[in-house]
């Protein structure tokens, strides 16, 4: 189906045609007719990069009252970058329409300028939740009469800790509006939100819930933790045209890996929370324009980065939450292209991989980290292919031809070839001359002795483990539907300091423990005194050795006491019965 057949107004069809769009994507084909013909609420599930902005943007623009100055559409999204991207797309879609005003509002930019833009005219507002609430409290953003509320990347907003902000915003909107919720995954929190704020929503999915994209191949390499960086370099070297995001768990690890790659001569840079907005914009622009081949990023920092041509997504660490893996892998294989999602695993991590396989319903293919000879061959042939494809500009080199011929006089064709290859290729030959095999035999996992197991645990420590941590107790657990990703987003939002590093998180049923950089302990405790989760107060305190371990043991002891008491009672009855007999 094409855009002419779907019933859109001529100016919109003309705009999308000029943009080069011809056929609708699956999510557009299913959602646009529903939105234009029905005023019902909608939950649309599709991976990122499948045309979701057009899926809600085109039908909403088609029904917009351009004569009215009121804000009719509010689009909420998780990040500044996605906010600007959605705004740009909507402006392109409406370029042939007259009188349409679209205003983006987001943090990190002058709020007074945004207030002035809203006062002039804004039929469509694209906003991040935090800035939307700021503007709502200043009475600059008026959403009491909106007709459409769009929640884009809803699962990302919840994982980043915006649940309370979303609750506030949704409660301020009119009941008779149409709510359009777009998400890549369908976690419990999304279902809960839909139940609370949507009226009998229609669910449309172009893939099964929480399943990774079909056109992405999932591979893993098994190495020891100390060889993880070496494996990353070899993966990059065996793919000369790699265009990839490498995901790290923490900003410290992200920075260290990027710094190593840069010092080793790779075209790489880092994207993490310690960067200023100007630095972040610069890195992202260089990556989008392919002046960078490898971007090393944390999950939070990479949100909103929209790139269609990624060849690889590389998991330097497996995420704790399988849904995060779905998001990561969904960044490659976009727009109908194929992609590869690679995970670099160390010993004892295979169990986590199996869990992700089960939830994502995708099989991970075991691969061997390439050896020196294989890498050198690929690099050599890539160099020769590049040389063959170089265009010769006769006009530019004509004036130098005589001098070149004089300097190369007396050299044979074979000698010229050898010298050219050696000049460009010696670095790889020297580096991989005595390269060892860093692959781990998968059967080795079953043969690890207790002594070796202790060593492997030491190997698992990442660079951020050199930080001195405090362990804190928090009164949230799995019963509150809290996962590690949810916990990180919640803590980050409450503390609101990018310098605070979060370490290990242990989720229990009724409570949890999390680690923070020791030097920020007082700051975190102070910030958490006013914290609420789902409207309930949260208790956070230092988990001393007297508080944490005994607390866990107490839970087990209480259960044991109850069992013993019950067992003793039964025994007593049995003995009485025996005496009576």
Domain ranges of the chain: 3-205, 216-371, 373-431, 467-543
SS (H, E, C) 322-358: HHHHHHHHCCCCCCCCCEEEEEEECCCCHHHHHHHHH
- Fold of the domain spanning 3-205: Rossmann fold (3.40.50)
- What mean pLDDT do residues 509-522 have? 87
The tens digit of pLDDT for each residue in 418-446 reads: 887 777 677 777 778 888 899 987 554 44
Distance between CA atoms of residues 83 and 107, nearest Å: 10
* Distant-in-sequence, close-in-space partners of 197: CB < 8 Å, separation ≥ 6: 170, 179
What rounded mean pLDDT belongs to the chain? 81
For 467-543, CATH gives 3.30.70.330
CA 467 vs CA 96, 515, 520: distances in Å: 55, 10, 12
Per mean pLDDT, which of 130-139, 275-284, 479-488, 570-579 is the most reliable? Answer: 130-139
The Cβ of residue 286 has, within 10 Å, a number of other Cβ atoms equal to 14
* pLDDT value of residue 548: 41
- What mean pLDDT do residues 465-477 have? 81
Distance between CA atoms of residues 447 and 129, nearest Å: 51
Please, what's the b/e burial string for 432-452 (b: 16 or more CB within 10 A of its CB; e: otherwise)? beebeebbbeeeeeeeeeeee
Inform me whether the pLDDT recorded for 396 exceeds 60. yes
Distance between CA atoms of residues 161 and 163, nearest Å: 6
The tens digit of pLDDT for each residue in 122-144 reads: 999 999 999 999 999 999 999 98
The tens digit of pLDDT for each residue in 136-173 reads: 999 999 998 899 999 998 888 887 778 888 989 998 99
Q: Same fold for the domain at 3-205 and the one at 467-543?
A: no
pTM of the model: 0.54
Distance between CA atoms of residues 129 and 133, nearest Å: 6
For 216-371, CATH gives 3.40.50.300
């Amino acid at each position: 189906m094409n855009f002419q057949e779907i019933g859109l107004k001529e100016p919109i069809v003309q705009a999308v045609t000029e943009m080069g769009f011809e056929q609708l994507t699956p999510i557009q084909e299913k959602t646009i007719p529903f939105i234009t013909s029905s005023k019902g609420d909608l939950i649309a599930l599709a991976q990122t990069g499948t045309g979701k902005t057009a899926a809600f943007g085109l039908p909403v623009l088609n029904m917009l009252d351009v004569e009215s100055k009121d804000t009719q559409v509010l689009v909420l999204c998780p990040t500044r970058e996605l906010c600007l991207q959605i705004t740009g797309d909507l402006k392109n879609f409406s370029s042939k329409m007259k009188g349409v005003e679209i205003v983006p509002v987001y943090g990190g930019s002058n709020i007074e300028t945004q207030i002035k833009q809203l006062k002039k005219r804004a039929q469509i507002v694209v906003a991040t939740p935090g800035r939307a609430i700021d503007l709502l409290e200043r009475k600059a953003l008026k959403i009491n009469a909106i007709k459409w509320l769009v929640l884009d990347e809803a699962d990302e907003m919840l994982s980043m800790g915006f649940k309370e902000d979303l609750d506030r915003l949704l409660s301020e909107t009119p009941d008779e509006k149409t709510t359009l919720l777009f998400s890549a995954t369908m976690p419990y929190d999304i279902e809960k939100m839909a139940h609370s704020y949507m009226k009998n929503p229609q669910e449309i999915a172009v893939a099964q819930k929480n399943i990774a994209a079909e056109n992405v191949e999932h591979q893993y390499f098994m190495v020891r933790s100390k060889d993880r960086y070496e494996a990353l370099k070899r993966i990059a070297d065996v793919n000369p045209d790699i265009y990839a995001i490498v995901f790290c768990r923490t900003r410290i690890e992200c920075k260290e890996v990027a710094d190593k790659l840069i010092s080793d001569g790779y075209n790489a840079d880092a994207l993490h929370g310690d960067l200023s907005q100007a630095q972040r914009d610069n890195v992202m622009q260089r990556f989008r324009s392919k002046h960078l081949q490898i971007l090393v990023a944390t999950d939070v920092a990479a949100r909103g980065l929209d790139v269609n041509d990624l060849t690889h997504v590389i998991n330097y660490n497996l995420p704790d939450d399988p849904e995060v893996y779905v998001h990561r892998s969904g960044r490659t294989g976009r727009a109908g292209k194929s992609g590869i999602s690679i995970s670099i695993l160390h010993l004892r991590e295979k169990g986590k991989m199996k869990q992700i396989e089960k939830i994502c319903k995708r099989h991970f293919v075991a691969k061997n980290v390439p050896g020196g000879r294989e890498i050198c061959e690929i690099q050599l042939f890539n160099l020769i292919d590049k040389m063959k494809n170089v265009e010769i500009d006769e006009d530019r080199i004509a004036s130098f031809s005589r001098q070149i011929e004089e300097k190369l006089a007396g050299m044979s064709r074979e000698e010229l070839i050898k010298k050219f290859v050696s000049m460009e290729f010696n670095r790889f030959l020297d580096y991989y001359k005595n390269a060892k095999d860093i692959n781990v035999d998968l059967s080795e996992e079953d043969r690890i002795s207790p002594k070796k197991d202790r060593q492997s645990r030491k190997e698992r420590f990442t660079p951020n483990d050199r930080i001195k941590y405090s362990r804190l107790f928090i009164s949230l657990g799995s019963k509150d539907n809290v996962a590690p990703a949810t916990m990180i987003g919640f803590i980050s939002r409450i503390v609101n300091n990018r310098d605070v590093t979060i370490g290990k998180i242990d989720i229990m049923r009724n409570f949890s423990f999390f680690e923070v950089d020791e030097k920020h302990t007082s700051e975190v405790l102070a910030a958490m005194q006013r914290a609420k989760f789902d409207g309930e107060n949260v208790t956070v305190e230092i988990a001393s050795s007297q508080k944490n371990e005994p607390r866990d043991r107490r839970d087990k002891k209480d259960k044991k006491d109850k069992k013993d008491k019950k067992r003793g009672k039964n025994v007593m009855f049995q003995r009485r019965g025996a005496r009576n007999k």
